[in-house]
Amino acid sequence: MSALMLNRPNYRRAELEAQRILDEMGVVSPPVNPVEIAKNLGVGVVFVTFTGKSRGISGFFDCEENSIFVNEEEFPLRQTFTVAHELGHSVLHGDWARSSDYQVLWRNPAEQYQDFREKEANAFAASLLMPRDMMDKYWDSLSAQQLSRLFAVSVPAMRNRLSNLYGV
Ligand SMILES: [Zn+2]
């Protein structure tokens, strides 16, 4: 297998893992609470103030503490996505998170989207917060704004999901 193949994001696995967790926990209607899900999986969620150089960080997963640290100064909807994204690293990328080239989630991510693991964590977060079966029920009868309120995600995150799932 070529290095290129290895580095291609596996969106299907990210989506299946998110759905598996929702099924296990019996979550069947929006909004999905990723903090509750993390805690049910034994992963701590800690809201903290980052200082100095770390001010630009949205959050990160600490594998030694088995906890997600979230920037408490960011908007709640962004924090929700950050928790879901970091939970994706915890579920999908445990080995990598323990390695030295693991990177935290920066608020203004210019480079991180190059990394296939970042794309997978974002796909996991979108699938966890806006599951396909729940979206199927509502997407064509509600506006993006209404959907974003129902699913407790930002409008841009919802628009992105609508585009990926339904091409709208
Ligand atoms: Zn990340």
The total of structural domains in the chain comes to 1
**Per-residue pLDDT at 112:** 54
Q: Is the pLDDT of residue 73 over 90?
A: yes
Spacing, Cα 120 to ligand 1 middle (Å):
9
Residue 1 domain flag: no
Q: Is the pLDDT of residue 6 over 90?
A: no
Spacing, Cα 155 to ligand 1 middle (Å):
21
Spacing, Cα 118 to ligand 1 middle (Å):
5
Give the DSSP letter of residue 31.
P
Spacing, Cα 26 to ligand 1 middle (Å):
26
Residue 3 domain flag: no
Residue 35 domain flag: yes
pLDDT confidence bin for 104, thresholds 50/70/90:
low
CATH (domain of 59): 1.10.10.2910
**Per-residue pLDDT at 105:** 66
pLDDT digits (tens, 9 = 90+) for 118-158: 899 999 999 999 999 999 999 999 999 999 999 999 999 99
Residue 73 domain flag: yes
* Look-up of token digits 């998110």: 18
Residue 5 domain flag: no
Q: Is the pLDDT of residue 40 over 60?
A: yes
Tell me if 134 sits within 8 A of 126, measured CB to CB: no
Spacing, Cα 142 to ligand 1 middle (Å):
30
Tell me if 15 sits within 8 A of 123, measured CB to CB: yes
Residue type, 99: S
Range of the domain at 121: 10-166
Spacing, Cα 85 to ligand 1 middle (Å):
6
Please name the residues in contact with 158: beta carbons below 8 A apart, sequence gap of 6 or more.
130, 144, 147, 148, 151
Spacing, Cα 141 to ligand 1 middle (Å):
33
Spacing, Cα 136 to ligand 1 middle (Å):
27
Task: Output the six-digit token pair for 130.
Answer: 């806006």
Spacing, Cα 135 to ligand 1 middle (Å):
24
Q: Give the pTM.
A: 0.89
Spacing, Cα 90 to ligand 1 middle (Å):
10
Residue 2 domain flag: no
Residue 69 domain flag: yes
